Amino acid sequence: MRPLLNSSTAGDLVRFVLAPSDAANPNSVVRIVEFGVPISLINLNSFTSTTSVNTALAALNSLRLDPSKGELEQLIPVGNSVYHGLTLELRHRFRSIKNGAGFSFRAVYTLSFLKDDGIVNTSDALVPGDFQREF
């Protein structure tokens, strides 16, 4: 097991904060002592160092299912489609004339509407795991 923060001034405990404990000292890591216990305060909003980000990632690494993976993404090949269609047909057959010739008239109109989210993005929902909201 390796420490989260490898520094000679690091405390035994690590606490993540969003603002420096001392406005005059905006360092990313500050050591304090509370009740005799040394604590390293790590300012996550520090602009001067990547130490705070690396330490936060190390703290989260032990909570991952597979610590060797940096990021996991849920991909589901799923899509929703709804098709509405209406076909109108009008036919009229005219009577044959004396020589046996005749004709007919036919008109057809199709009205359709398709709603589909499968073309755009079916692998990554805005709300993780909730692909119904994407439709």
Domain map (residue ranges) of the chain = 1-72, 81-134
**pLDDT tens readout for residues 52-78:** 677 777 777 777 788 777 777 766 666
100 φψ region: left (φ > 0), alpha (ψ -120 to 50), beta (else): left
**Cβ distance 44 to 16 under 8 Å?**
yes
**pLDDT tens readout for residues 100-109:** 788 889 999 9
pLDDT for residue 93 is more than 70: yes
- Determine the 3-state secondary structure of 44 from DSSP: coil
